Structure 1
Amino acid sequence: MNFFSQSDLSTRSKKQLTLASNEIHLWMTKPEELLGNDELLATYSTLLTSTELAKQQRYKFAKDRHDALITRAFIRDLLSYYADLSPQDWQFEKGSKDKPEVINCPLPIRFNISHTKNLIICAVTLEDDIGCDVENTGRSNDVLAIAERYFSPKESTELFALPEAEQRHRFFDYWTLKESYIKAWGLGLAIPLTDFSFNINDTEQHYKNLFTIKQDISLSFAQHRVDEPQIWRSWLIYPSAAIDKKQEHRIALSLRTKADNQKTDYQLRFFDTLPLLGYQEI
């Protein structure tokens, strides 16, 4: 990526982005690329509030403190591409569902952040509640035992009917989708994961040979779960080796549309960035 050099930090002006009502912007940054860059990391610290800094410093391990600092600088910096506010001037509060929200933005921006080993993402849209999740598929957890405990009967049946070689792959499809759904609501595990089921049609689309995308995905709910499947849109995203050398990341998005947006043809745009050093649309 062709980022601005650090010498430009104090003088450059941001290239503003327009966010259309039918767009979802997915931002990505890799915190390992900033290890050892003490000058830039110190600049990131100046963007955070005292409360954010205190929370960041409470992490026990240096890697977790590093990732937490990058995450806060990342969201502050990328939001400044949409509005004439400096990264340090953004103000956040927890909304009615305990989900972080911007309180001084001139646009009705909705966003959600997720992070895993060496990848932080943020999904940004207008008005509609959005949730995102990214997982590292190389983790060593006994994922099938997790599926037996947390997936709906329908999902578990479909998962274990697959050839054994495909089961781990499908697990992460379901897991990231489920996480993105509960994050869109902002309620976390207050929504039991067994109360809703995803049905994934494996029809694929390709984005510039950089991502494989599945979007023919539907939701159904347990009888006692009050929700409307027709208001939801979901996407599974698989970065190619050009973006993710080991192809070990899985990304899911869930969008809860408003009544007048249910027939909208949503478009995805992808952005790679290092906070304060610019971005590249990919």
Structure 2
Amino acid sequence: MSLPPSPAPSPLPRPDEVHLWIVEPERVTEPRLLAAYLALLGAEERERHQRFRFEKHRQQFLVSHALVRVCLSRYAPVAPRDWRFSTNAYGRPEIAGEGMPRLRFNLSHTDGMAVCAVAHDMEVGADVEHSGRMGQTVELAESFFAPSEVADLHSLPEALQRERFFDYWTLKESYIKARGAGLSLPLDQFSFHLAPGQPPRISFDARMVDEPESWQFVQLRLSAEHPAAVAVRRPRGLPLSVRCQRCVPLASEESPWRVDSGDR
């Protein structure tokens, strides 16, 4: 089948920025477009796509993985279907092949939203969550979060606890995804300090080998139900912004906007 044309090339992300591409998978319903997405996937991706039991999950996977391929092709002369990926020991996908640009990317998707973060030559992680997806958030925090974060949750009125829980959760997920080690990094061995008007700050206990000054984080609210966070290995104190752009891969784009570290 003939594919829709790829989007025009984009400049690489600057050293002080991350590009965040955003799509709502459930809103992509045109059969021709979905067929085009399927044609972009590699054999392993197609097998994974078929293994999902529910159509909703197949749709999320298809649209989000097409998003990755189409976005990467904006930054390099590689057709979306020609990207090849390898995975590290913890399952994080990376661009494979000789002579490829030093792009780093990270994909996250949940009910109603998928995001792909792209950076140039610096580690990046992203997480988006649906805030209605989990049940007893404080109980989850007590099982997995650092003591200071649990204490902060308990200090808040009950009406504010769920929002703060997802602030912590998305930040933690973005960090472990940027590290490329997944849940091999225990969530209670690092913590975040959140203060109004200030960027999130990470700290590590004695068991975690890392440097707090090496990381920056940006929090976003992509909808009333979709908190998100981006983590970048970039020295604290240097400028950082996230260029956000909603799109439908191979079809349409909205005007971008920026969120700086420290903004919300």
Question: What TM-score, normalized to structure 2?
Answer: 0.90
Contact 1:26-1:124 at 8 Å conserved across structures = yes
5+ unaligned residues in a row in structure 2: which ranges?
Answer: 257-264
Q: Describe the SS at the equivalent of 2:67.
A: helix
Find the counterpart in structure 1 of residue 239 from structure 2.
265
Letter in 1 for 2:186: P
Where does residue 249 of structure 1 map in the other structure? 226
Residue 74 (str. 1) matches residue 67 (str. 2): yes
User: Which residue in 1 is equivalent to 2:57?
Assistant: 64
Question: Which residue in 2 is equivalent to 1:281?
Answer: 255
Q: C-alpha separation between the residues in 2 aligned to 1:137 and 1:234?
A: 19
The DSSP-based 3-state class of the residue aligned with 2:232 is: strand
CA–CA separation in structure 1 for the residues paired with 2:200 and 2:47: 40
Which residue type is aligned with residue 89 of structure 1?
D
Structure 1 vs Structure 2 CA RMSD: 1.7
Q: TM-score, normalised by structure 1?
A: 0.85
Residue pairs, 1:58-137, within 5 angstroms? 58-95=51-88, 97-104=90-97, 106-137=100-131
Q: CA deviation at 1:106?
A: 3.5
Q: Which amino acid aligns with 1:52?
A: E
Q: 1:228 to 1:75 in 2, by over 3 A?
A: same
Q: Which residue of 2 aligns with 1:45?
A: 38
Asked if 1 retains the 8 angstrom alpha-carbon contact of 2:245 and 2:255, the reply is yes
- Answer yes or no: is the 8 Å Cα contact 2:178–2:232 preserved in 1: yes
Counterpart residue number, 1:238: 221
1:13 positional shift? 5.6
Q: Which amino acid aligns with 1:76?
A: R
* Cα displacement string for residues 147-174 of structure 1 (whole angstroms, at most 9, x for unaligned residues): 1111101111111011222111111100
* Residues 114-147 of structure 1, C-alpha deviations (whole Å, 9 max, x = no match): 1111100011111111111101112251111101
Distance 1:266 1:158, change over 3 A: same
Conserved 8 A contact 1:97-1:185: no
Q: CA deviation at 1:91?
A: 0.8
Deviation per CA, 1:181-227, whole angstroms, max 9, x where unpaired? 11111111111110000001221xxxxxxxxxxx5111111112111
- Alignment partner of 1:226 is 2:209: yes
Query: 1:172 pairs with 150, 166, 183, which one?
Result: 166
Q: Which residue of 1 aligns with 2:22?
A: 28
Asked if 1 retains the 8 angstrom alpha-carbon contact of 2:138 and 2:150, the reply is no
Look up the SS of the partner of 1:141 in the other structure. Answer: coil
Aligned residues with identical type, % of pairs: 39
